[in-house]
Structure 1
Amino acid sequence: MSIIEKLKWRYATKKFDANQKLSNAKLEILKEAFNLTALSYGLQTLKLVIVEDKDVRQSLVDIAYGQRQVVDASHLLVLCIQTEIDGEDVNSHFNTIKEIRNTPDAILEPFKAEMKSRIKNMHPDKKVGWASRQAYIALGNLMTVCAIEEIDSCPMEGFQPKELDEKLKLDQLGLNSILLLPVGYRDKDDMFAKFKKVRKQMSETVIEL
C-alpha cells in the first residue's frame, strides 16, 4: 500500500484481538519513532511508558472509563511529560549536542543561555501546556508510523490522569500522563474497521495561497 492508502486503512481501533502480540521488532520501531519525534528546541522532556503486563492493564480499565482497548491491545503506550522542566534539562540537551556533534562551546553557549532564560521565565501553567503539546506531536508521529507498519492503534484522552499516575507510580518518577495509545492488531469482529472514512472534501480543509 502507498502511504495514503495506509492512512486510509488506519482507524481508531475499538476492538483489539487480545491474542495477537506485537513482535519485539515492531515494538522497537515504535520506540525509535518516539525517540525521533520532532520536538520544540529538540528538548526531549517527554517519556514513553510501555505497559505490557495484562494484570496491570486490567487494573486501568476503570480509570479509562471502561475502554477495553487498554487491556485487549498488545501493549499500552502512555505518553508523559515531566512534572519539572528546568535549566538542567537544557544543560543535558546541550551536553548531548556537544557529545554527538562536537560543537564548540563558543557556538553553543549563547543558544543555551537564551533557552534557559525562556524556560526559567515561563509561567508554570504555560510550561505544562507547552510540554503537553509536544506529547500530541509524538502521538501523531506514532500513529503515522503505526499505519505504515500496519499496527492498529487508538489514541485516547478519555482517562483519569491522576489516578493512572498513582496506579503506575508515574508520580514517583516525576511524570504526568497526558495521552494513551493502545497498540496491537484489530479484531476481525470490529465492525468499525469496515466503515468508510468520513472526511470533508480536501477543498474544504486545505487553503492554497
Structure 2
Amino acid sequence: MDLINNLEWEYVTKKFDSSKKVSEKKIEQLKKVIQLSTSSYGLQLYKVLIIEEKILREKLKSASYNQNQITEASHLILFCNYATVNESHIDEYFDLKYKTAQLNIANYKEYSDFIKKDISTKSQIEKDKWTSNQTYIALENLLNACAALKIDTCPMEGFNAEKYNEILNLTKQNLSTTVIATVGYRSDKDSSQHSKKIRKPIENIFI
C-alpha cells in the first residue's frame, strides 16, 4: 500500500534546504488536494494562504518563536478558519451546489434550515472550535499528498495566532490562523531524518 510506504518515509522536517523550491506544478497539485478535502456539511469554512515571499516570512518568523522552518522552507502554508459564521455562508454552499450539480435548491430547503439551526445553537467558542477542526482535516490531506510527492513538511502549532492575524491583516477578512505547515525539501544536515519513527504499537492504540 503506497500510503503506508509514504507515511514511513515522511517525518517532521526540522531543517530545510533553502536552495530547493517546490515547483509551481506541485503547488497546484497540493492546492487541488486541499480543495477536495472533506469538511463538516461540506461548507469549507476556511481559507488557505500559501506564502513564498521571504520578507513576509521573516516577519512571521518572529511570531513563530523564531523557528527556522518558517524562512528556510520553500513555502509557508496557513490554514485560517472563519472567525464568524452566518447564514450567508450556508446559502453560498447551496448556491454552489445548484450551479455545480444543477439541483433544485427548493428540495434542500429543509436541510439548509437544519444546518442554519444547528450552527445558531453553538456558542462562539463552539463555532471557533468547530471551524478550526475542519482545517486539520485539510492539513492532514496536505501532509499525505506531500509525502506522495516526496515533499517534506513540518506541521506547526508553535506560533502566535494573534500576531499572524495582525501581520497579515486577517481579522478584517473574518479569518483567524489555526495551524500552519512549512513545505520544501530536507537539508542533508537535518539529523531528524535519520531518527527511527516512534509510534505506539497497534495493540496499544486500537481497542
Alpha-carbon distance change, 110 to 12 in structure 1, aligned in 2, over 3 angstroms = same
> Counterparts of 1:45 and 1:65 in 2: how far apart (Å)?
28
SS of 2:177's partner is strand
> Counterparts of 1:58 and 1:14 in 2: how far apart (Å)?
17
Aligned to 1:191: 191
Aligned to 1:148: 148
SS of 1:65's partner is coil
Matched, 1:45 2:48: no
Aligned to 1:34: 34
SS of 2:130's partner is helix
TM-score scaled by length of structure 2: 0.97
SS of 2:155's partner is coil
> Counterparts of 2:194 and 2:132 in 1: how far apart (Å)?
33
Equivalenced residues, count: 207
Once the two structures are TM-superposed, the CA of residue 107 in structure 1 deviates from its matched residue by 1.7
Once the two structures are TM-superposed, the CA of residue 82 in structure 1 deviates from its matched residue by 1.1
Q: Deviations over 1:115-147 (max 9, x none)?
A: 111112211110001011111111111111111
Indicate conservation of the 8 Å contact 2:83/2:175, yes or no: yes
Structure 1, unmatched stretches of 5+, are none
Q: Counterparts of 1:170-185 in structure 2 under 5 Å? A: 170-185=170-185
> Counterparts of 1:72 and 1:132 in 2: how far apart (Å)?
26
Aligned to 1:56: 56
Sequence identity, in percent?
Answer: 36
Matched, 1:8 2:8: yes
> Counterparts of 2:120 and 2:203 in 1: how far apart (Å)?
43
Once the two structures are TM-superposed, the CA of residue 172 in structure 1 deviates from its matched residue by 2.3
Once the two structures are TM-superposed, the CA of residue 25 in structure 1 deviates from its matched residue by 0.7
Aligned to 2:86: 86
Structure 2, unmatched stretches of 5+, are none
Tell which deviates more after alignment, 86-95 or 138-147: 138-147
Matched, 1:65 2:65: yes
Q: Deviations over 1:136-175 (max 9, x none)?
A: 1111111111111111110100000000111111122221
Runs of 4+ with >2 A deviation: none
Indicate conservation of the 8 Å contact 2:47/2:79, yes or no: yes
> Counterparts of 2:172 and 2:187 in 1: how far apart (Å)?
35
Matched, 1:134 2:134: yes
Counterpart code for 1:40: S
> Counterparts of 1:189 and 1:30 in 2: how far apart (Å)?
26
> Counterparts of 1:102 and 1:2 in 2: how far apart (Å)?
36
Indicate conservation of the 8 Å contact 2:78/2:177, yes or no: yes
SS of 2:99's partner is helix
> Counterparts of 2:78 and 2:168 in 1: how far apart (Å)?
10
Q: Deviations over 1:55-75 (max 9, x none)?
A: 110111121001110110000
> Counterparts of 2:54 and 2:179 in 1: how far apart (Å)?
19
Tell which deviates more after alignment, 153-162 or 107-116: 107-116
Q: Deviations over 1:69-112 (max 9, x none)?
A: 01100000000011111100000000001111111133211111
> Counterparts of 1:2 and 1:145 in 2: how far apart (Å)?
11
> Counterparts of 1:44 and 1:135 in 2: how far apart (Å)?
8
